[in-house]
Amino acid sequence: MPYVTVGKENSSSIDLYYEDHGSGQPVVLIHGYPLSGASWEKQMSVLLNARYRVITYDRRGFGKSSQPTEGYNYDTFAADLQELITQLKLDEFILVGFSMGGGEIARYFGKYGPKGVSKAVIIGGVPPFLLKTDDNPEGVDASVFEEIKKAVTADRYAFFTEFFKNFYNSDPLLGNRVSKDVMHASWNLAVSASATASLACVSTWIEDFRKDVERIDVPTLVIHGDDDRIVPLAASGQRTAKLIKGARLAVVKGGPHAITWTHAEEVNAELLTFLGEPSVKSTGGVA
């Protein structure tokens, strides 16, 4: 299995598992919490059929990657992404991030700039800043994140059971756009992540990406469900699209957080249309 080494913890290397398929312009898919690169299955086949080279990887602590007890912050996540890009010698690549993966994209631009990046897509992303503060009244109260951390610490297995109900909005969508089997598979994937990563990543959701987002100066598509209970549209996707010059905002009606699965057809249509457009910088506002 292919791995790229991104660091060391004592005597052990920290390795990221990745998959690299197809040929053509590279598309790097960055997964959300608490899943892995395998969660992109409904996008991977579509992108491969459209003749893109598709690269997925598992964030440290998740999937088949190493499970260190350090490095769970966005500076490190962006450095891990940069190492993967460097090792694979990618150029004119497209970054697509879901949920936490949107944070990687934002911090990547903040730290490394746009060199080599052709386009960016943020789906249900955590930017620009989820925490409610005096200068960020649209954010979510800090107590919400503290309660999540308490729940993960007390019993992360039970937490994930409840988490995925809101991840997929199972009350209206179960048996319609998502099955019990999919939710069970997601639960299995989540509990395979390290306990350290499962807890530590919660604190990263409230990192301030506002300055990072403003540095994104490539054509950008923001996709978000209007019924997202995990990362509310008004606190995230709408604001991210406004902060990125020329960004396009596509709102998926009735879409939960996990629109890459429940509304894959809509997401894939937006994705393919955007990726197929010429890579020229836009000077317009939000579409």
The CATH number for 3-275, chosen from 3.40.50.300, 3.30.43.10, 3.30.2290.10, 3.40.50.1820, is 3.40.50.1820
Q: How far apart are CA 111 and CA 78, in angstroms?
A: 8
Mean pLDDT of 198-227: 98
SS (H, E, C) the chain: CCEEEEEEECCEEEEEEEEEECCCCEEEEECCCCCCHHHHHHHHHHHHHCCCEEEEECCCCCCCCCCCCCCCCHHHHHHHHHHHHHHCCCCCEEEEEECHHHHHHHHHHHHHCCCCEEEEEEECCCCCCCECECCECCCECHHHHHHHHHHHHHHHHHHHHHHHHHHCCHHHHECCCECHHHHHHHHHHHHCCCHHHHHHHHHHCCCCCHHHHHCCCCCEEEEEECCCCCCCCCCCHHHHHHHCCCCEEEEECCCCCCHHHHCHHHHHHHHHHHHCCCCCCCCCCCC
Please tell me which residue, 1 or 262, carries the higher pLDDT value: 262
pLDDT exceeds cutoff 90 at 285: no
User: Which residue out of 36, 39, 212, 257 is catalytically annotated?
Assistant: 257
Share the mean pLDDT of the chain.
96
User: Which residue out of 15, 198, 228, 236 is catalytically annotated?
Assistant: 228
pTM to 2 decimals? 0.96
Q: Is 11 a catalytic residue?
A: no
Give the pLDDT confidence score for residue 1 in this predicted structure: 75
pLDDT exceeds cutoff 80 at 280: no
User: Of 263, 204, 199, 266, whose CA–CA distance to 231 is shortest?
Assistant: 204
Q: Is 228 a catalytic residue?
A: yes
Give the pLDDT confidence score for residue 286 in this predicted structure: 37
Q: How far apart are CA 110 and CA 59, in angstroms?
A: 19
- Quote the tokens at residue 101: 């993966």
pLDDT tens digits, one per residue of 225-258: 999 999 999 999 999 999 999 999 999 999 999 9
Residues forming a β-bridge with 250:
223
Q: Is 75 a catalytic residue?
A: no
Structural domain boundaries in the chain: 3-275
Mean pLDDT of 60-82: 98
Q: How far apart are CA 117 and CA 217, in angstroms?
A: 10
Give the pLDDT confidence score for residue 120 in this predicted structure: 98
Residues forming a β-bridge with 119:
94
pLDDT exceeds cutoff 50 at 215: yes
User: Which residue out of 65, 99, 198, 236 is catalytically annotated?
Assistant: 99
The sheet with strand 248-252 has its strands ordered as 3-9, 12-21, 53-57, 26-30, 93-98, 117-123, 220-225, 248-252
Whether 162 and 230 have beta carbons less than 8 Å apart is answered as no
